[in-house]
Every structure is written in C-alpha cells, then in structure tokens.
C-alpha cells in the first residue's frame, strides 16, 4: 500500500500531465476523424489556460466556471476562424491554423494583462488528478458514443470522400466546423486544467512545438478509435520517464521508437490490437478448412 502511495507522490505531476495530454490528443482527434489536418489546438489550449487562470486570479471566478468560460471563449474564436479556413484543405489548412497559433502567441506576448513574455505565475494549483481523469473519462465516453452515431459516420464519410459525402446529403462544411469547434473547446478545457496544475504558464508553452506534439500523440496512438490518442499520449508522455536509465541517450531512443511506430504501424499503435484479432480470425479460418 505504501509503495502505491509513494509511486503516486513521486509521479503525481507526470500522471496529471499524461491525462491532460490525452485530452489534448482527443481534441485534435476530433478534427482528424473528420479528415481535417489542423494545428491550432496548442493556441486553443493557450486560450483556455490564460482564460481560466486570469478569470480565477483577477476576477475570482470559481475554478470550474473558469474552465468552462475558457472553453466557451475558445469555441467562440474557433467558429469564425473555421468559417475562414475551411475553404482550404490538407497542408494549406494546416498552415493556416499554424498562422492562427502564431497570432495567439504574439497577442499573449503583447497584451498588458497576460504578463507578456514572463507569463503568469502563482496560479493557484487547484487541479486535482481526479479532475483530469474524470474529464478524460467523460470526454472519451462522449466521443466514443459520437463515433457510432450519425455525426460520427458523417465525419468518417467526409474524411473518406467529401464529394461522396455531400452527395449523400451531408452538410460537409457544417460538420467540419462542428468538429473544429468541439476540438477547440476541448483543447481549452485541457489548457485550463494544465494552468492550474502547473502554477505558471508562458506563451512559449503553446507554440508550434506544442501543436506538433499534440498531433503526434494522436497519430502515433492511432486515429481509427478513441482509444488511440489516449494510448499515444500516455506512451509518449511516460516514455522519457521509462527511458530514464538510458540517461543522455533517452531522447534518441524515444525518437527511434516514434519512427518505428510510424513506419510499421502507420494507422497507429491501436492497430496492434486489430492485427491480433485478424490473426485469430485467420487461425479460426484455417481450422475450418482443415
């Protein structure tokens, strides 16, 4: 028992960060599932982080209300942005959302009340692990249900072929926009949780590197299912800890593992489970023939 308590005490921050990263990975998964490559979620995370922290520290808004307002603000920004950028596809869409991320970063560096380059310090550390994991469980459950619904099928159809989806009566732009706004709100929620976990935030935390990291969590874990991004975020966040004995070589190994996954499991780590199922089916099939 003591060992478990000790483990949690030592790794409390890492466990919290894993949960937040999983939420972020799910936030980009929503748009990926609809076939849209966007890199704006680090910026939406920043909106949620600054929004929740400032509302809590300066206005005295209760923590959950601050989280919710941050998410709402982020969704309100995502709506007009989405209307503008969803004229674009593929890499052009990705670049446009990177542009948005840079705008947010520079705004945070210049506004008088965001602490500029120093960011915000002394944010009350009110985020508990159960806040993070309750959010994660709720979000994962809702997304899992959405995946099997009319909305989920519409997203999948758009991902496969926009023209075919449109000719089936799917309002393509509306569904893309819905995915984008939902992802933005989710990233902001995760941002708020993260601000209140870490005491301090600064604009550099939410730059391009962060945006790519979120995408990598989702893609390495695998986008076919909700479990993929959670799995990817968990593994890639824990990996540096696990590889600690390798000392200065650990980043090299982390990079090699990443390359291996992308090359051999292009649909992500969750496809490992599918592979096993297929193999079982083949065995059963072989037995039938024999």
Return the number of the residue (66 or 268) whose C-beta is nearest other proteins.
268
φ/ψ bin of 60: left (φ > 0), alpha (ψ from -120 to 50), beta (otherwise): left
DSSP symbols for 249-287: GHHHHHHHHHHHHHHH-TT-TTHHHHHHHHHHHHHHHHH
Please list the helix, strand and coil fractions of the chain in percent, rounded to the nearest 5, in that order: 80, 0, 20
Return the number of the residue (138 or 164) whose C-beta is nearest other proteins.
164
Query: What SS3 class is residue 89?
Result: coil
Return the number of the residue (194 or 225) whose C-beta is nearest other proteins.
225
Return the number of the residue (73 or 170) whose C-beta is nearest other proteins.
170
Please report whether residue 153 would count as binding other proteins according to CB under 8 A: yes
DSSP 116: G
Please report whether residue 76 would count as binding other proteins according to CB under 8 A: no
Please report whether residue 146 would count as binding other proteins according to CB under 8 A: no
Please report whether residue 122 would count as binding other proteins according to CB under 8 A: no
CA atoms within 13 A on the CB side of 92: 6
Please report whether residue 154 would count as binding other proteins according to CB under 8 A: yes
Return the number of the residue (207 or 224) whose C-beta is nearest other proteins.
224
Window 168 to 187, contacts with other proteins (CB under 8 A): 168-172
b (16+ CB within 10 A) / e for 243-256 = beeeeeebeeeeee
Using CB under 8 A, which of the segments 93-101, 158-166, 253-261, 270-278 binds other proteins?
158-166
Residues near other proteins, by CB under 8 A: 150, 153-154, 156-157, 160-161, 163-172
């Amino acid at each position: 028992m003591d060992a478990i308590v000790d483990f949690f005490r030592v790794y409390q921050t890492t466990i919290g960060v894993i949960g937040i990263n999983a939420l972020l990975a799910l936030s980009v998964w929503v748009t990926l599932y609809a076939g849209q490559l966007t890199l704006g979620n680090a910026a939406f995370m920043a909106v949620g982080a600054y929004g929740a922290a400032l509302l809590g520290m300066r206005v005295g808004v209760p923590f959950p209300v601050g989280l919710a307002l941050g998410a709402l603000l982020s969704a309100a920004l995502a709506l007009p942005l989405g209307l503008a950028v969803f004229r674009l596809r593929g890499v052009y869409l990705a670049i446009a959302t990177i542009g948005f991320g840079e705008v947010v970063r520079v705004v945070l560096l210049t506004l008088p009340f965001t602490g500029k380059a120093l960011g915000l310090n002394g944010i009350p550390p009110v985020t508990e692990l159960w806040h993070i994991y309750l959010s994660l469980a709720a979000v994962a459950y809702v997304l899992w249900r959405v995946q099997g619904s009319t909305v989920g099928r519409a997203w999948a159809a758009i991902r496969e072929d926009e023209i075919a989806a449109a000719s089936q009566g799917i309002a393509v732009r509306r569904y893309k926009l819905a995915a984008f706004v939902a992802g933005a709100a989710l990233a902001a929620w995760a941002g708020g949780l993260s601000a209140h976990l870490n005491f301090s935030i600064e604009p550099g935390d939410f730059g391009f590197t962060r945006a790519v990291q979120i995408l990598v969590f989702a893609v390495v874990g695998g986008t076919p299912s909700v479990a993929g991004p959670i799995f990817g975020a968990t593994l890639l966040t824990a990996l540096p800890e696990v590889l600690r004995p390798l000392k200065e070589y650990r980043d090299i190994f982390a990079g090699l593992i990443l390359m291996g996954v992308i090359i051999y499991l292009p649909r992500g780590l969750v496809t490992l489970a599918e592979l096993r199922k297929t193999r079982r089916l083949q065995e059963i099939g072989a037995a039938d023939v024999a």
